Amino acid sequence: MAGCTGYAGGEVLRLAAAHPELTIGNLTAHSNAGTKLGEHLPNLPQLADREVLDTTPDNLAGHDVVFLALPHGASAPIAAELGADTLVIDCGADFRLIDPAQWTKFYGSEHAGTWPYGLPELPGQRAKLAATKQIAVPGCYPTNVTLSLLPALTHGLITGQDITVAAASGTSGAGKAAKPHLLGSELFNSMSAYGVGGMHRHVPEILQNLSLLGATDPTVSFTPMLAPMSRGILAVVTAPISGVGAADVRAAYADSYADEPFCRLLPPGQWPASKSVLGSNGFQVQVTVDEAAGRLVAVGVLDNLTKGTAGGAIQSMNLALGLPETTGLSAIGVAP
């Protein structure tokens, strides 16, 4: 496990520690090398005395599975040094995008390549994940937006044009490094927008996923927001729709998610709340049609650290290892 002391790495360890088929090997983190894990993750007492090693290929070699929870651009050099028999799961962005030009535009460096995408709910994706040794875990916002629109696109209810997304995320999505705008006195009793005007790095990934679901030349206006909570994402996603009523839209979502272990369409009249999926690998959605505006409205929630990152990584790992997809995972949230 590389990057074990960050939020994403810590969540992978939380899930891995309870996974019946996993034994946790070396733990690494560059800046915290030489410390004990308990200094950073006191919520994992069974691992508290484990030494954090430096993130080097040698310290990660010899494992059957390696999770990389590293800053963007840092995974590719490490992954290149690991053996072909190792299942490598990158929780960063290095291998998510297909288009090298989009990577360079949004990340400013050379594209490292494309790995199978760790979102099993995409049509045909489970077979791809079952046959790979390399997995690119999706971004948290793209996971929410993709699952919020998947049934509408696969059932041909929308085209993928003129998508709007307003999504609020907890502060853990910004990482663990100290930042002035994440101080309690700055964050409490306040919400703020960021990455406005198509500037957020998840925009090309969202568009890529819409295309994979059948959209032709999709467009999206994405406005992410920072909410005064530690974890979770609530996304309000709308798209033009005509000649289709709310009942037909609901039927499409019920059909798509009837057999999905982690995706749930809520009962009529019940709207998603981020607290309902806290700490779980669950995704919940509600959908309707705004007839006056002629738009589909889907509201989706997930935990950005679990289904949005570490849970999705474990779910994809299970498929790659030939394990039941739900092993070590739950759709049960923590309440209140």
**Residues 139, 173: Cα–Cα separation, whole Å:** 10
Is residue 91 part of the annotated active site? The answer reads: no
What Rg do the C-alpha atoms of the chain give, in angstroms?
19
CB atoms near residue 264 (< 10 Å) = 18
State the Cα angle at 325 between 322 and 327, rounded to 5°.
95
- The count of other CB atoms within 10 Å of the CB of residue 291 is 10
Place of tokens 């002629």: 294
Token duo for residue 315: 């779910």
Token pair 């962005």 in the structure block, residue = 93
Angstrom distances, CA of residue 131 to CA of 122, 135, 319, 325: 15, 10, 9, 14
Which among 4, 91, 140, 263 is annotated as catalytic? Answer: 140
Cα(97)–Cα(84) distance, integer angstroms:
21
Listed residue (237, 94, 222, 92) closest to 152, CA to CA = 237
Residue type, 173: G
Q: Are 176 and 7 in contact (CB under 8 A)?
A: yes
Q: How many CB atoms are closer than 10 A to CB 268? A: 10
Question: So which residues are the catalytic ones?
Answer: 140
